[in-house]
Structure 1
Amino acid sequence: MSVYVIDSNFFIQAHRVYYPLDVAYSFWQKVKQLAHEEKIISIDKVKDEIFDHNDELEEWCKENLPDNFFKDSSSTIVEYSQVTAWAISKNDHFLPQALNEFLDANEADAFIIAFVLNDSNKILVTQETSEPFRRNKIKIPDACIALDVKYLNVMEMFRQLNETF
């Protein structure tokens, strides 16, 4: 069975744009259910990105997600080095600021890709879309394509899980 590894933008965009906590109760109940069933997980770096706003989303995560939802990414250092090596090899395409942002140890993108890399049971879930010609930002889907990492967007995940809300 696949486990879906959730990127920061899953939570942040849902909360701020598509499914506000005060309106889309059934969406958030579904997220809570899937988290408790361990069908969806995330990593510590995503938690850090979510928990730096001290807002309703952070409070919801603390109150509704299981304690083991955010996994430790430090065990993926070998995979992380593969992801960073790929990014560095593209220094003729990406601007220095894009590389610096992607390689920043406080950013989740490279770590979440590393967490899924080489594990056929994990699928990365992100709302980012591929932009292979973009030079000022490394997009998660473009790194996933290059590194043969499975990824999809939120609605594709719900469809694969045969979930509705």
Structure 2
Amino acid sequence: MSEPFLLDSNFFIEAHRTSYPFDVVPSFWIKVKELVSNGKIISIDKVQKELLKNNDELSQWCIDNLPPDFFKDTTSTIANYALLSGWVYSKSDQYSKPAISEFLDADEADAWLIAYAMTNGNQIVTHETSSPNSRKRVMLPDAATPHNVSCIKTIDLFRVLGVKI
């Protein structure tokens, strides 16, 4: 797995709501813009849709600060999305039908993030944690790991890239 790192929507949402609010830690957001400019981080079209669905301060920041090519098209990942679909359906003894349906919802980003990473060799940056015994939700790390996609947290991303804020 290599750069650029692939960001889940919760990278932005958690930072905005709890860890690095715009008014308290503006240096975080300046650093994010720098990482985008340097091609160190990217995301996908499904994450963009999740981020822009709320007409709030975060969605406006994304519109104002993230270039259109930051959010990559997922069309080319359909073959790996199909593999991932087969995998999650094979786990129907573990996951409930609603959990599988939610994971494979075309508007939800998680499965598409994994498919994109499978196709392009990225690591995913997410705040989701593994919960291998969950029946109610397919957690991103639990679906990524069997497909040789690793997930890291924001702080790990910053350490790997040597980022200081």
Do the structures match in fold with TM over 0.5? yes
- Aligned-partner residue type, residue 16 of structure 2: H
C-alpha RMSD of the superposition:
1.0
Query: Contact 2:5/2:42 (CA < 8 Å) preserved in 1?
Result: yes
Correspondence for 1:12: 13
Query: Contact 1:36/1:65 (CA < 8 Å) preserved in 2?
Result: no
- Tell me the distance in 1 between the aligned counterparts of 2:148 and 2:36: 25
- Tell me the distance in 2 between the aligned counterparts of 1:2 and 1:52: 28
- Tell me the distance in 2 between the aligned counterparts of 1:112 and 1:155: 19
**Displacement of 1:74:** 1.1
Is residue 71 of structure 2 the alignment partner of residue 70 of structure 1?
Answer: yes
Correspondence for 2:150: 150
**Displacement of 1:125:** 0.7
- Tell me the distance in 2 between the aligned counterparts of 1:161 and 1:83: 29
Matched position secondary structure for 2:6: strand
**Displacement of 1:23:** 1.4
Query: Contact 1:34/1:40 (CA < 8 Å) preserved in 2?
Result: yes
Alignment of 1:22-101 (within 5 A): 22-101=23-102
- Structure 2 unaligned segments of length 5 or more: list them: none
Q: TM-score, normalising length from structure 2?
A: 0.96
Alignment of 1:113-124 (within 5 A): 113-120=114-121, 122-124=122-124
Matched position secondary structure for 1:2: strand
- Deviation per residue, 1:92-130 (Å, 9 max, x gap): 10011100100100100000000001433x111111010
- Structure 1 unaligned segments of length 5 or more: list them: none
Report % sequence identity: 46
Matched position secondary structure for 2:68: coil
Query: Contact 1:125/1:157 (CA < 8 Å) preserved in 2?
Result: yes
- Aligned-partner residue type, residue 47 of structure 1: Q
- Tell me the distance in 2 between the aligned counterparts of 1:78 and 1:23: 42
Count of residues paired in the alignment: 164
Alignment of 1:131-142 (within 5 A): 131-142=131-142
- Hey, which of these two has a bigger chunk of helix by percent? 2
- Tell me the distance in 2 between the aligned counterparts of 1:72 and 1:119: 12
Correspondence for 2:111: 110
Moved over 6 A (4+): none
